[in-house]
Structure 1
């Protein structure tokens, strides 16, 4: 039961919001209310909004009842600014519209667009947005602007504040304003003259107070996101410009940002990097200071502790382990329009710092693979600390800035504070050109002594940065709850009073994200600390950053990997705390669907996770925990009688196909839907793209000089084309045709009808049975390949991926790998005159095949479409039959991206079912396209 007045608010929300976008249950409010910080507040109500009109109506509701509301984008915030114990409003998929105009000099973006996606829109024009935060592949435009997030290259010259052209916003009273629309400005000037007059008055008073005006200008010469963007008051005369620039970095405390127009910046095509190694911090800082404002685009400083944390990782540059105890590195990047200009800039960099003695000569590389390896040093620092911390502790990353001339002294003083407070494994790195340092350490908040240690450390850090060096307590991570109490310490009484006045002018009742930026509680940064109970070895390293979320197929349906871990940690906490059995059961039952049933377990989350957590592996383990003796017995029987099982599936497909022919699409679909629903999802959900039983192969292998073992997966063996596919050819025939053209003789493994890689069992958590099937397959493949003499082709990527993971010493290849390694020198590829779609399976992505598959497809077809933002189809083996809503949620944007496509290709037959259903074009195995487009050379 919700406390008053939230029960009344809920009823009012349900009058205009769909019920499936308003949440009050314990699991989802916890999971959806968690951000990347080390704070936790659980909202009473979570609302997913898709339009500005909904935001306006939500604001009217909260105003009526006088309750707080917090707006949330991606939740990658590190300082606690995206959490609430009241009403939390999240951005849904409706906030992803954009427009590029003025010859790509400007881009209009809605707040739900991910930062890197905006850059992909601009890439064909040679442009990008200015801000480049480390979380750009996850964080959204709304959060980037609201936090004035910057990054490694944008500094203070190309952040949101400096590249903002205009914005559309909604005030707390529900009034919209588009600062780029003269009509909107005119209406606002009439309805809210008090705000514009108030801002104009502030400017006049600040300019009259020369000391305050100069302090504001001085504070923003370096990176600064502590408090409000007071520089707007001295930088602009137009009250509308002041208003919109105050919104930058306001963390949702002044208004809701519903649209942003950026002035774009150039994305230089030529780049080179060097990992400069110096004997100590002071030398590296001297070099950074000398390079500032010159030819360098980025200069990332890394202390010896940072380098030590990654020096033994695979793929790191040589020699890091040989550096002395005080060594320091500067990772420098130079960018240019032409290769000649790049060489000139590199020469200038070397000349600029020639008098600063390095540990070895500076070596720049323009090779993307090589400088990618250098940048992996920088990218690996935060994960390196997170990966080795003790279970139950959190990773804290703080973010300060010093005047550039004090950077070395500031860094050395920070190291001394680490020693004083016992943070022996803390590391320092950051954006040296801006005097911006990040320091990372692990913290246990499970005991008062540890909390006291953290409190003492923060008191010393804030005194050091704000008082000794007059730096920024927050340079780019936002004020949040973490630094809200210290804003006055940094800014002083007069500037802080100005911030209070700004808050009062925009939000007089304090309803927007209270406790953030301005907080009178001196212990606010020590309260509402996030519990991190030990839950399971597979997930205990999770830092809840949310980097995994954009690639998760269930992200708009139920939970993301981060949220699954958050919810399971709560299960562990409830168990440890001995909470009521009824409470534990209710939460656990919710998790069975939200956490387990709708998880595709595709493992793509692990490719984005800073500490390489594959939440899918944990969910498979969770499924295994739920299996009893009966379930294991059935799984063992099915594994032992694979031939019979496959035969039964083929029979079922024949019966379903006959019924489909008799009843037609609509009647068959309706009957299947009813059976699925009333069986409690036990009966698989038939759909109109369901395959027919596979037809027998017609071609026979032909003798040739070279041999290849071909293992058709069990799904490829028993699943043929769908009813509406004009090409009913068996995949085995297409594969044999392709191999014959290339001059290969095909060898099949013995007893093939009984063989399986074990993937169907593994996905359900039956690991013992899965491994037994894999061992059986391995024996057959070793024999067929003459102990590994011949390459082995499997037509299904997920199966092949499992085989590669566990079978060593055999040359195992899926279609793309085989084509690149064994067909390129034997076949010519002539593009077919069609526009085709390409789906790169999650397994192919994990194998690093995405760019290779796309390039190969473009050799085989006139035009190739790779749908945007679809990383996994969500069919998840056979899970799409029982939980079709997962497949539907993942592919809801597919159809509109396939305009003009006549065929789609992939490398997994079950994926192709869901893709055909939601894309409305037949999808087939990639081998079909390779066969159609290829001819023998000569």
Structure 2
């Protein structure tokens, strides 16, 4: 199996010398894992959420500040440009490069909360939502709240001065900055919170500080210029550099660090940042308010500006049309007129009484506004989350319905609030004039900030010219008619760089050029971004989006999927797999570069196909629900061919025998392990399988042995459940080293009987399987046939769906639920059964020691992570759910055949195991194998924990109510 990284490309000078020198700075366990030059992965990393693509010659994964320092000194000595990248959710092309792309590795996740949580110090690799998760128990959060906060990292949030729906202009990175630690273009480190560091910097870079101080003094002394800058930043503005630093501060260090905010990596590297936190009020209410037209909606927003409102999101009629069929949307939207608009409002407070007062105040403010439909506020968290989730999905919603091959573009402007309605209508007129009939407008209306989304083809010069004319007209409209911001919060990037001088004028633009020269006189940091003398820069290096497969053609390459993916940074993420597949499709269609096609295709076998866990978690983060694993399974099926499909059918038809052989193999492995040792067994297994089974975990299961016998029906008044043990739980028992020796079905039966249930098994239960092992290998037809046969047996056992079916393995539950959507069967995952039906009928004595809990991918996808956690907490005083562990990467049998995927996915797990922890729990036997090996404590089904803590309720206490199945 090809576990080595792809061969590195031969680079021309000076990149060959840079690569050689960087190899001494960035050591790697395997070649090509931290310095990447192969055609597939450089292409994959040359993609961000924008509609631009540049392919870097070298991708360097850095782990420490010292590595950044040495990298900058090496690249500077060879005059080679460098671009820094965090999560790559940038929308304006500021995170791509055709030179050296520097990507944050795992070593940038530090988070230190200050006294009383009034400040938080974050390294640039911390995801924004993770910072908020850590602050939440203390009632605080960071100010910036971009829609991409679940993916975007602090480095990018600060470097773009990202804001979002609730932070306005008062709580963005610029306004909440306390201090930062940064690396300048020459490799010098400055910690603005450390007086000694500042003194050292004064001695080494006094001339730079003097230039900044002089620039500030000169700007503040020009009343017209200073006033112009202050006016420009009264509304959201990320066009160009943060010139407000020159008028807001006099200390050159303060000017320097505030200029870094919004500089998009063109002035230096932020290696740590301390932000002042803001309150996260526990009580919230939201309302989706509808108005007859955009004018009335904007009138309402102007009134709300002075009300206790934390967010007001404007949506035009086209926006509403794109989401009106989404779950949770009021059905009345469909009947609204062609000019209707909406404002999604949120208010927050420290107490329920204060929240009620806010809602009343807002109602009074809006009393004279004309609304249509229901205008009530709700405090229901699920309803509120649904509203905001749909609002955040407006951008990709357009992308998902675009014509294949076109690009979805989002622009981001701001207008003075009193003229918002007029400006919105003018934008709508521009759409009509240029033929963008699918365009929608929405945005953070309290700040006059509008986003508009449209689709654009770049495959002909005529289409590029149409985009050029449209953007020219947008610039004239925003700048000359309304004196607004061409970029309000998404950053200048490449997309608006040619228009910065137009917005700011020659004098202010000259300040920006001086700033760039002070920080980066050689112009090597992210060239072409923010300042770009090419008036057509926004029309070059446009990203192709050729059709690749209907399963993924709606992908807009936003990258929201990446934090969920267990193979991200080992090989490829879902976004990168789609990028690679699109390039293969493009090359196949064009036929113009067979060598590149062969190289990318060969690398994709391992990078794209073999190391994909196909766990489906990417679909939970994807705004349009793309499950990249379905594409990979399809490709696996194509790769295997007809012979493999026949073999899959044979296995499906003889499942009982196949499982018997597996049990025999486990018995032999256990015997050999006890006789000659684990190492000898592993070497033998590797030799016998030709290297296809490179790893036998120390926690290898023993063979399970258990008789599946239904309870008799006669004279039994207990509620009936159909128990469908998975083929894995029927085959794999606990590991030999696990103190627990009983097979899972025995533990499930024990809990069911304690809770007073009658157990029924389906016919021929030993041969039943949901088909998951076959599906994961791309043998979809055989997998579905096996699932259908199992569903037929379950329908009979459940008396046509009268009795619920309980499954003990979450991946199997999910697969059968999807296959049985219209069958009338109620299929319960073990977490549901335990929490809703078993625990209320049991006496529980909590265990005192801490326990680990792993939430499987399937559990999360079914929305049962909360249910499983509640079961664990009902049985243990302390439950640890590691925040840095998602999919375990064992992926059925991938833990045996591709162990590096499991190791990579669980690399953060050991640090989360608390002292005194003796066990972990989950709901998938194969996941538990890898978890046990990595954590150093045995993982087993959550059923074992419940069984250990539970006793039957005493009969004479009270008759336990019948479960409401």
When normalised by structure 1's length, the TM-score is 0.98
1:174 alignment partner, SS class: coil
Aligned match of 1:141? 154
| Unmatched 5+ stretches in structure 1 | none
Q: Does 1:786 align with 2:795?
A: no
Cα deviation, residue 843, structure 1: 0.5
Conserved in 2, the CA contact under 8 Å of 1:673 and 1:686?
A: no
Q: Does 1:167 align with 2:189?
A: no
Q: Does 1:459 align with 2:472?
A: yes
Alignment deviations for residues 147-185 of structure 1 (CA, whole Å, 9 cap, x no partner): 000000000000000000000000010000000000000
Aligned match of 1:610? 623
1:862 alignment partner, SS class: coil
The CA distance in 1 between the partners of 2:944 and 2:213, in whole Å, is: 68
Cα deviation, residue 853, structure 1: 1.1
| Unmatched 5+ stretches in structure 2 | 1-9, 955-965
Using a 3 Å threshold, how does the CA distance of structure 1 residues 935 and 471 change in structure 2: closer, same or farther?
Answer: same
The CA distance in 1 between the partners of 2:525 and 2:891, in whole Å, is: 41
737-746 vs 675-684, which moves further = 675-684
1:8 alignment partner, SS class: helix
Aligned match of 1:840? 855
Q: Does 1:928 align with 2:911?
A: no
Q: Does 1:533 align with 2:542?
A: no
Cα deviation, residue 361, structure 1: 6.1
Candidates 859, 871, 876, aligned match of 1:856: 871
Alignment of 1:702-741 (within 5 A): 704-705=716-717, 706-741=719-754
Conserved in 2, the CA contact under 8 Å of 1:316 and 1:376?
A: no
Using a 3 Å threshold, how does the CA distance of structure 1 residues 904 and 884 change in structure 2: closer, same or farther?
Answer: same
Aligned match of 1:11? 20
Using a 3 Å threshold, how does the CA distance of structure 1 residues 231 and 552 change in structure 2: closer, same or farther?
Answer: same
Conserved in 1, the CA contact under 8 Å of 2:183 and 2:190?
A: yes
Equivalent residue pairs, number = 935
Using a 3 Å threshold, how does the CA distance of structure 1 residues 454 and 890 change in structure 2: closer, same or farther?
Answer: same
Alignment deviations for residues 103-143 of structure 1 (CA, whole Å, 9 cap, x no partner): 11111100000000000110111000000000000000000
1:329 alignment partner, SS class: strand
Conserved in 2, the CA contact under 8 Å of 1:710 and 1:746?
A: yes
Cα deviation, residue 673, structure 1: 5.5
Alignment deviations for residues 580-615 of structure 1 (CA, whole Å, 9 cap, x no partner): 434322211100000000000011101110111000
Cα deviation, residue 897, structure 1: 0.2
Q: Does 1:2 align with 2:11?
A: yes
Aligned match of 2:76? 63
2:174 alignment partner, SS class: helix
Alignment of 1:175-214 (within 5 A): 175-214=188-227
Alignment deviations for residues 668-715 of structure 1 (CA, whole Å, 9 cap, x no partner): 4xx525853896641352110111111335998576422211111111
339-348 vs 918-927, which moves further = 339-348
Conserved in 1, the CA contact under 8 Å of 2:835 and 2:868?
A: no
Cα deviation, residue 358, structure 1: 1.8
The CA distance in 1 between the partners of 2:760 and 2:373, in whole Å, is: 55
CA root-mean-square deviation: 1.5
Candidates 694, 699, 702, aligned match of 1:689: 699
Q: Does 1:879 align with 2:889?
A: no
635-644 vs 789-798, which moves further = 635-644
Using a 3 Å threshold, how does the CA distance of structure 1 residues 321 and 131 change in structure 2: closer, same or farther?
Answer: same
Conserved in 2, the CA contact under 8 Å of 1:317 and 1:374?
A: no
Aligned match of 1:812? 827
Cα deviation, residue 828, structure 1: 2.9
Cα deviation, residue 353, structure 1: 2.5
Cα deviation, residue 356, structure 1: 2.0
The CA distance in 1 between the partners of 2:626 and 2:455, in whole Å, is: 18
Conserved in 2, the CA contact under 8 Å of 1:684 and 1:882?
A: yes
1:16 alignment partner, SS class: coil
Aligned match of 2:439? 426
Candidates 65, 68, 87, aligned match of 1:74: 87
Q: Does 1:487 align with 2:503?
A: no
Conserved in 2, the CA contact under 8 Å of 1:169 and 1:255?
A: yes
Alignment deviations for residues 767-795 of structure 1 (CA, whole Å, 9 cap, x no partner): 11111111221221122112222111111
Alignment deviations for residues 422-443 of structure 1 (CA, whole Å, 9 cap, x no partner): 0001000000100000000011
Aligned match of 2:5? none
1:400 alignment partner, SS class: strand
337-346 vs 134-143, which moves further = 337-346
The CA distance in 1 between the partners of 2:797 and 2:689, in whole Å, is: 44
Using a 3 Å threshold, how does the CA distance of structure 1 residues 275 and 580 change in structure 2: closer, same or farther?
Answer: closer
The CA distance in 2 between the partners of 1:643 and 1:15, in whole Å, is: 55
Q: Does 1:260 align with 2:253?
A: no
The CA distance in 2 between the partners of 1:868 and 1:595, in whole Å, is: 26
The CA distance in 2 between the partners of 1:345 and 1:698, in whole Å, is: 60
The CA distance in 2 between the partners of 1:82 and 1:321, in whole Å, is: 39
Cα deviation, residue 28, structure 1: 0.5
Aligned match of 1:777? 790
Aligned match of 2:332? 319
Q: Does 1:868 align with 2:883?
A: yes
Cα deviation, residue 369, structure 1: 2.0
229-238 vs 636-645, which moves further = 636-645
Aligned match of 1:116? 129
2:695 alignment partner, SS class: coil
Conserved in 1, the CA contact under 8 Å of 2:14 and 2:78?
A: yes
Conserved in 2, the CA contact under 8 Å of 1:796 and 1:909?
A: yes
Candidates 823, 830, 835, aligned match of 2:845: 830
Conserved in 2, the CA contact under 8 Å of 1:701 and 1:736?
A: no
Aligned match of 1:911? 927
Aligned match of 2:460? 447
Conserved in 2, the CA contact under 8 Å of 1:699 and 1:733?
A: no
Conserved in 2, the CA contact under 8 Å of 1:699 and 1:736?
A: no
Alignment deviations for residues 529-576 of structure 1 (CA, whole Å, 9 cap, x no partner): 001111110010000000000010101210000000001100001101
Conserved in 2, the CA contact under 8 Å of 1:681 and 1:883?
A: no
Using a 3 Å threshold, how does the CA distance of structure 1 residues 673 and 345 change in structure 2: closer, same or farther?
Answer: farther
1:492 alignment partner, SS class: helix
Candidates 683, 686, 691, aligned match of 1:676: 686
The CA distance in 1 between the partners of 2:701 and 2:326, in whole Å, is: 46
Alignment deviations for residues 457-498 of structure 1 (CA, whole Å, 9 cap, x no partner): 000001100111110000000000000010000000000000
Q: Does 1:28 align with 2:38?
A: no
Using a 3 Å threshold, how does the CA distance of structure 1 residues 662 and 699 change in structure 2: closer, same or farther?
Answer: farther
Conserved in 1, the CA contact under 8 Å of 2:804 and 2:828?
A: yes
Alignment deviations for residues 357-400 of structure 1 (CA, whole Å, 9 cap, x no partner): 22246311112122223324422322321121111111101000
Conserved in 1, the CA contact under 8 Å of 2:414 and 2:449?
A: yes
Q: Does 1:937 align with 2:953?
A: yes
Alignment of 1:110-509 (within 5 A): 110-360=123-373, 362-509=375-522
Cα deviation, residue 633, structure 1: 2.4
Cα deviation, residue 659, structure 1: 1.4
The CA distance in 1 between the partners of 2:708 and 2:642, in whole Å, is: 43
Aligned match of 2:963? none
